[in-house]
Amino acid sequence: MQSFDYIVIGGGSGGIASANRAALHGAKVLLIEGRYLGGTCVNVGCVPKKVMWQGSELFHQMMTETKAYGFDVTSQDFDFSTFVANRDNYIQRLRQLYQQGLDQNGVQVVFGLARLKNQQEVVVNGESYIGKHILLATGGAPVIPEIPGAEYGLTSNDFFDMRELPKKVAIIGSGYVAVELAGVLSHFQVETHLIYRHDHVLRSFDRETVSHLEELYRKEGLHLHPYQEVQSVKKQSQGYQLNLSDGSFLQVDLFIWAVGRKPMTDSLGLETTGVRVNEQGYIQVDEYQNTKVAGIYALGDLTCQPHLTPVAIKEGRQLSERLFNHQVDAKADLTYVPTVVFSHPPLGTVGLSEEEARQKYPDELITVYTSQFNPMRYALLSHKLPAFFKLVCVGKKEQVIGLHGVGEGMDELLQGFAVAMGLGATKADFDRTIAIHPTAAEEFVTMTRKKD
Ligand SMILES: Cc1cc2nc3c(=O)[nH]c(=O)nc-3n(C[C@H](O)[C@H](O)[C@H](O)COP(=O)(O)OP(=O)(O)OC[C@H]3O[C@@H](n4cnc5c(N)ncnc54)[C@H](O)[C@@H]3O)c2cc1C
Ligand SMILES: NC(=O)c1ccc[n+]([C@@H]2O[C@H](COP(=O)([O-])OP(=O)(O)OC[C@H]3O[C@@H](n4cnc5c(N)ncnc54)[C@H](O)[C@@H]3O)[C@@H](O)[C@H]2O)c1
């Protein structure tokens, strides 16, 4: 039986990052992956999603904006299947790069579903391996609700297998995935219906910012159906009929479940180890990724931390710094985690929403600044998508504790502001900073409109 310093189960964002870092510090590392290297992010998450986002942005611009800029785009042919094939080739190359990186660092890779036999032994493909330290990094998978006909629906994984665009589609859910896939399809001029149970999408985000995005989505022709649940689905000779909670029906070519994800713990054999999970099945860890069992760690989508690739990567690398490079206090600092919903236009957030700020600091002064403007991209167009920006500050010194926005470029401009907020920047620090003109980012350092 082979022994390793470190066995990593799951070759996604967190697992690969941790395995490579451990190997760089001289550990003997085994990485076990059940399907394909890169996990969710590379294969059915961030990467194909961002390529789709980019493709649909281009499509939309070509169809609606290029003429005003003087282009004569006479052929509007678009071959979706070529686009998808190019996307998949790119992903294939990424997987190869991951494999090369692991090889170069001396990480041994085995493909197969791993199962813990006890606290130190892992079995894969009938072989047993002993690990001094074991990392669980098996991520999550999409959920399908239990209603009649639910099985006819696609998940986000299936979305990336689509080889042609439907004419009319429904997306059920209100989180990142629902909002992003709805935006992509709508920008590809697919009639898109977004169906969700409550009043708003993205309910953990700043309410006012989300309302702005919803307004833009409506303006772009996306059909929003708040306060609706899909109660059952009937297959028809062509497409599907969704039966909604208000008694109405919606006929679509296809529909996509985007109602959340569940942690991938089923195949792991956790019961043999004493590793604890919470009510939703997520593995309980402390801020150092320790589970309740010494020598077994977990990270990323398998735990309750924000389910974002850079979070999983940071957790994985910091864990390896701690275990294999004597950095005894290494842990991921999740105080200001910037995040972007790749909607059209993107919505970005760092820190607390206005609602969270008021709840967290009931006795402190909360000041809120907002700004709305038309990005220059629309200068020559009759059709405009105004951007919205917001700062949430606390105390007399007005420390900026929340920064939110919807608008072109929001995805790229957010990172630097997250650094400033991590350093405790105040509204005065923002105001002191010279703007870059003409950009969207300058709105954040020129805001004067205080909300009552
Ligand atoms: C549609 C979509 C879009 C997303 N877009 C973004 C984005 O734009 N930005 C962002 O930051 N995040 C995004 N995310 C989230 C991001 O993909 C995840 O947070 C991230 O992949 C989590 O990494 P992980 O290492 O925890 O798990 P994963 O990347 O899911 O990796 C887990 C790996 O473990 C393997 N595995 C499972 N069970 C076993 C087993 N028993 N044995 C061996 N291997 C096993 C799986 O095959 C998988 O490869 C997106 C997610 C989705 C679904
Ligand atoms: N851009 C990004 O960084 C990005 C993109 C996609 C996903 N992600 C990550 O992946 C995670 C998972 O995303 P997600 O969108 O799958 O899940 P989610 O948990 O963010 O959202 C799921 C939504 O579906 C709703 N819902 C649950 N059951 C329902 C039902 N039966 N009918 C209608 N609605 C229902 C929930 O109320 C919830 O709002 C995200 O939380 C995020 O961390 C990140």
Q: Ligand 1 centroid vs 30 CA: distance in angstroms?
A: 19
Give the DSSP letter of residue 283: B
Q: Of the bound ligands, which one is closest to the alpha carbon of residue 245?
A: 2
Task: Give the per-residue pLDDT at 74.
Answer: 75
Task: Give the per-residue pLDDT at 451.
Answer: 87
Mean pLDDT of the chain: 97
Q: Could you tell me which residues are beta bridge partners of residue 392?
A: 368, 402
DSSP string, 37-74: TTHHHHHHSHHHHHHHHHHHHHHHHHHHTGGGGT----
- Residue-wise pLDDT for 175-219, tens only, equals 999 999 999 999 999 999 999 999 999 999 999 999 999 999 999
Domains and CATH numbers, the chain: 2-139+264-325 (3.50.50.60), 143-259 (3.50.50.60), 338-445 (3.30.390.30)
* Residue 10 assigned as binding residue: no
The C-alpha angle with vertex 40 and arms to 93 and 179, in degrees rounded to 5, equals: 115
Task: Give the per-residue pLDDT at 1.
Answer: 87
Give the separation between CA 213 and CA 406, rounded to whole angstroms.
6
- Residue-wise pLDDT for 13-41, tens only, equals 999 999 999 999 999 999 999 999 999 99
Q: Ligand 1 centroid vs 142 CA: distance in angstroms?
A: 11
- Residue-wise pLDDT for 437-449, tens only, equals 999 999 999 999 8
Q: Ligand 1 centroid vs 11 CA: distance in angstroms?
A: 9
The share of the chain scoring above pLDDT 70, in percent, equals 100
- The response to whether residue 153 sits with its C-beta less than 6 Å from ligand 1 reads no
The share of the chain scoring above pLDDT 90, in percent, equals 97
Confidence check: pLDDT of 75 > 80: no
Q: Of the bound ligands, which one is closest to the alpha carbon of residue 309?
A: 1
The C-alpha angle with vertex 356 and arms to 352 and 357, in degrees rounded to 5, equals: 70
Question: Amino acid letter at 239?
Answer: G
ipTM for the complex?
A: 0.98
Give the separation between CA 21 and CA 26, rounded to whole angstroms.
9
Confidence check: pLDDT of 77 > 80: yes
Q: Which atom of ligand 2 is nearest to the CA of 203?
A: 39
Task: Give the per-residue pLDDT at 395.
Answer: 97
Token pair recorded at residue 452: 């009552």
> Which sequence positions are flagged as catalytic?
437
Confidence check: pLDDT of 307 > 80: yes
* Residue 50 assigned as binding residue: yes
The DSSP H or E segment spanning 251 is strand 249-252
Give the separation between CA 105 and CA 29, rounded to whole angstroms.
9
Asked if 105 contacts 98 with a C-beta cutoff of 8 angstroms, the reply is no
Give the separation between CA 180 and CA 26, rounded to whole angstroms.
41
- Residue-wise pLDDT for 218-255, tens only, equals 999 999 999 999 999 999 999 999 999 999 999 999 99
C-alpha closest to that of 333 among 359, 361, 310: 310
From the CB of residue 381, how many other CB atoms can be counted at a distance below 10 Å?
14
Q: Could you tell me which residues are beta bridge partners of residue 339?
A: 349
Task: Give the per-residue pLDDT at 433.
Answer: 98
Q: Could you tell me which residues are beta bridge partners of residue 6?
A: 29, 133
On the CB side of 79, how many CA atoms lie within 13 Å of its CA? 6
Indicate the pLDDT class of residue 286, thresholds 50, 70 and 90: very high
Distances (CA, A) of 368 to 174, 406, 427: 26, 16, 10
Residue 401 CB-density burial (10 A; 0-12 exposed, 13-18 middle, 19+ buried): buried
Q: Ligand 1 centroid vs 438 CA: distance in angstroms?
A: 37
Task: Give the per-residue pLDDT at 76.
Answer: 74
Q: Which atom of ligand 1 is nearest to the CA of 50?
A: 8
What would the mean pLDDT of 271-286 be, rounded to a whole number?
94
Give the DSSP letter of residue 112: S
The C-alpha angle with vertex 372 and arms to 377 and 65, in degrees rounded to 5, equals: 20
* Residue 149 assigned as binding residue: no
* Pocket, ligand 2, Cβ cutoff 6 A: 145, 172-178, 180, 196-197, 203, 229, 258-261, 306-308, 339-342
Give the DSSP letter of residue 247: S
- Which residues, at least 6 apart from 400, have a Cβ–Cβ distance to it below 8 Å? 351, 391, 392, 393, 420, 421, 425, 426, 427, 429, 430
- Residue-wise pLDDT for 83-121, tens only, equals 999 999 999 999 999 999 999 999 999 999 999 999 999
Q: 0.95 exceeded by the pTM? A: yes
- The response to whether residue 116 sits with its C-beta less than 6 Å from ligand 1 reads no
Q: Ligand 2 centroid vs 450 CA: distance in angstroms?
A: 32
Give the separation between CA 286 and CA 322, rounded to whole angstroms.
14
Confidence check: pLDDT of 73 > 90: no
- Residue-wise over 282-298: b if at least 16 C-beta within 10 A, else e? bbebeebbbbeeeebbb
In testing the pocket of ligand 2, which one of 259, 282, 315 has its CB within 8 Å of the most ligand atoms?
259
Give the DSSP letter of residue 291: -
Three-state secondary-structure class, residue 230: strand
- Residue-wise pLDDT for 388-408, tens only, equals 999 999 999 999 999 999 999
Give the separation between CA 415 and CA 260, rounded to whole angstroms.
26
- The response to whether residue 306 sits with its C-beta less than 6 Å from ligand 1 reads no
- The response to whether residue 52 sits with its C-beta less than 6 Å from ligand 1 reads no
- Residue-wise pLDDT for 309-361, tens only, equals 999 999 999 999 999 999 999 999 999 999 999 999 999 999 999 999 999 99
Indicate the pLDDT class of residue 72, thresholds 50, 70 and 90: confident
Task: Give the per-residue pLDDT at 65.
Answer: 92
- Residue-wise pLDDT for 148-176, tens only, equals 999 999 999 999 999 999 999 999 999 99
In testing the pocket of ligand 2, which one of 174, 231, 311 has its CB within 8 Å of the most ligand atoms?
174
